[in-house]
Structure 1
Amino acid sequence: MAVTLHEAFVPSCQQILTAMQGLVDKAQQHVEEHGLADAELIEARLCDTMWDLPWHVRSVWVHSAYAISLLPTGEFSPDFTEQPRSWDAMRAQLETAQDALAAVTVDQLEEVAELTVGFVIGGKRLMEFKAQDFLLSFSQPNFYFHATTFYDILRMKGVEIGKRDYLGVPRIKTA
C-alpha cells in the first residue's frame, strides 16, 4: 500500500507538536517550582551560537504548517519575524501549527506534490525541490532538529523530562 505525502508528513508533525505543548507546560512548571525567572529557560541555548527556545518553537511552525501553506506559491522563505517570547505565546504558536495542519487534506498535498518549490533567503533562490521532496528532505529534518533542540535545552537546564515526553503519543494499532 502506498503512503500519501499527507500520511508521511502531517501526522508525525502533529504528534511532535502535541508533545512540545507538554514540554512547554513542564518547562513553565519547572521555573515556578524552582523559583526561577522565565527568562532562565526561555533565553537558554545549547551554546552561544545557537538559538533560544522561542526560535525553535517558531521553527517547528515554519517547517510544518507554514511550509505547507507556501507550497502552492512555488517559493519558501522562512518567516522568523515574530518569535513567541512567553510560555503562553509558545503554546499559541504550537496551537496555530496544529490547527493549520488539521485543516490540510490528503488531496491538497497530492495536488502540489510535484510542483517546483524554491528555497529563498534574502531574495536569492538557493535551491529548488519538488514539493514532496522539499517537505520530506528539507522541512521534515529541520522540523525534527528544532523539536529535538528544544527538548535538549530543557534537559540541559534540568527540566525533568524523558524520551516519552519528546515522542508524545505514537499512532499504535488498535483492535
Structure 2
Amino acid sequence: MSDTDLLQLLYNTLPALIVAGVSFYFFKTFSENENRRRRFLLHQENQKTALPLKLQAYERMALFLERISPGNLLIRIKPESSDKIQYSNTLVTTIDQEFEHNLAQQIYISNDCWNYIKTAKNATISLIRQSAADNTVENAAMLQEKVLTILMDEDAPTIAALTYVKNEVKEIM
C-alpha cells in the first residue's frame, strides 16, 4: 500500500468514524433522557396514587390525636363505677386500642411525625396514670377533675403533635 492509498483510506474512514462517534453520543444522550423521562413519569404516577393515601394517613392520625386528647377522652368515656383505677385503666386501654387501630398509618407519615404522635400518646397515658396515683384523688369523678384541672394549667400533650401533623400536611399540599 502506498502513502496515497493509505491517505485515501484515511480520508474515507475518518468521516465514517466521526459520524459513528457523534451518532453514538446522541443515541446515548437520547437513551439517558428517555430513561429519566420514564422514571419521572413513573414517579409522577406513583405520587398520584400515594398522595391520597398519605393524606388519609395524616387525617386518621389527626383524628386519633383528637380522640385521645384528655378533654375529649374524658367526655367520651364515662366512668362505669367510682373506682379511679378501673376508670384510668379504661382510659388507657381506649388510648392503646385507638393507637393499635392506626399503627399501619406510620408507613405513610414521616418518622418525626410518628415520634410526635407516640410521644403525645405516652404523655397522655402518663398524665392519666399520674393523676390516678395522686392520693387526693379518691374516685373516678375526682380523677376527671384532676386531669381537667391540669389541662387548665398546661396544654394537652396532643396539641404539639396535632400542630406537627397539620404543618406536615401543609408542606405536602
Q: Larger % of helix: which? A: 2
User: Whose Rg is larger?
Assistant: 2
Q: Which has the higher contact order (CA 8 A, sep 6+)?
A: 1
TM-score normalised by L of structure 1: 0.32
Q: Larger % of strand: which? A: 1
